[in-house]
Amino acid sequence: MVHAVVLVLVLLLKHVRTDIRYDNCAYWTFSKGFGLPEFTERLALNDVTVYYHDSSLKSKMPRPDWINTTAGKDMWRIIHDWTENNRYGGTLQFHTATQQFNLTGLLTDQNIYQASGCCSVYPNGTYTAFLTYAFNEKDFASFDINTKTFVPAVPQAVFYKNLRERDSLRVDMAVKYYKKTCLERLKILQQDPRVLIRKVPEVQILEQQKKKSGSVTVTCHVTGFYPREVQVFWLGSDLQPVDEGVTEILPNGDGTYQTRKSVIVPEEDVGKQNYSCVVLHISVPNNITTVWAGERAGGVAVWGSVCICILLAAAVGFGVWWCRRRTRGKHLNLCTTQINHK
């Protein structure tokens, strides 16, 4: 039965792709009053940090050994050069935002200005890019790469928008970076050995029975996989997908990810209908299929019988002990014999 399920799954899901999407991202933070470095810069490819610098460090991050091509060395030199440029420009932007919030009486003693920019290449060849800004962890503004305009998210960002758009040189530089340079860097950084790692998902089936309805919530917990892209499906006994909504993919903290998909099995189907959790990941040639056949109900019955036997044995043992305390000689033999016959 399981082999048949797997065969049908291959046919049903052959159109599903688990190819990797590459995200080349940069994160800048400017803060005051938090006891943190005033400036930090982090470059990451698919959540793997490839470059980091902050204002407390005296020297910049050395070039890793795996970057040994001419293009790679040039890229690393430019990253170093632009760190100071980003620090200077970002500090001015931070002060501009701070002044605007101060004018409206919304400024606090602790302030943080964040910028993040990413370019992404999808398996189908689609290329996207974005650049956003936040002040005190709330949306502040974004940059539209196609129209070369800044889009304010709050009234305080209108002055910021006008100021940034007047600097046409920097605007053109930003457009060039996200339309060309970012992609060129991505192609180099995706050779990082840490990005090339493949970790196979671990799959576990969890169950929770609802007392009132008698239904069982069956959860397919998938964890420990890398890269991030994964497809998790539940299929019913008729091998049709069971849609239980979208589930978020979360980081584990060790560079791997986890996700889960649940299906609610009605009481009348428990023990009668099979459900299959199918996991597709680039680290696995085909798929990982785990079949749930409602075995929990049988397990509960078995353990219930075991518990009853244990309780009966305990009761007999207690009866013998009680009789021995209250009887002597033939009375003890009589009491023990009566209990054994029962």
- Rounded Cα distance, 289 and 232, in Å: 10
Task: Write down the pLDDT at residue 145.
Answer: 96
* pLDDT tens for each residue of 14-31: 444 557 889 999 999 999
Task: Write down the pLDDT at residue 8.
Answer: 52
Task: Write down the pLDDT at residue 38.
Answer: 95
| Nearest alpha-carbon partner for 196 in 46, 51, 74, 73 | 46
Question: Residue 241 has what DSSP assignment?
Answer: B
The confidence band for 59, taking pLDDT boundaries of 50, 70 and 90, is very high
Task: Write down the pLDDT at residue 2.
Answer: 47
* pLDDT tens for each residue of 229-263: 999 999 987 777 887 666 899 999 899 999 999 98
What DSSP assignment string belongs to 160-187?
A: HHHHHHH-HHHHHHHHHIIIIIHHHHHH
Task: Write down the pLDDT at residue 77.
Answer: 96
For residues 140-169, average pLDDT? 95
Check if the beta carbon of residue 242 is closer than 8 Å to that of residue 278: no
Task: Write down the pLDDT at residue 338.
Answer: 34
28: region left, alpha or beta (phi > 0 left; psi from -120 to 50 alpha)? beta
For residues 59-70, average pLDDT? 95
**β-pair partners for 302:** none
CATH architecture of 22-189: 2-Layer Sandwich (3.30)
- Rounded Cα distance, 315 and 277, in Å: 44
pLDDT higher than 80, residue 296: no
Answer with the residue of higher pLDDT: 321 or 256: 256
- Domain locations in the chain? 22-189, 198-293, 299-341
∠ CA(163), CA(164), CA(170), 5° rounding? 140
Location of structure tokens 């009866």: 319
pLDDT higher than 50, residue 211: yes
Check if the beta carbon of residue 141 is closer than 8 Å to that of residue 133: yes
For 198-293, which CATH class?
A: mainly beta
Measured in degrees and rounded to the nearest 5, phi and psi for residue 64 equal -70, 155
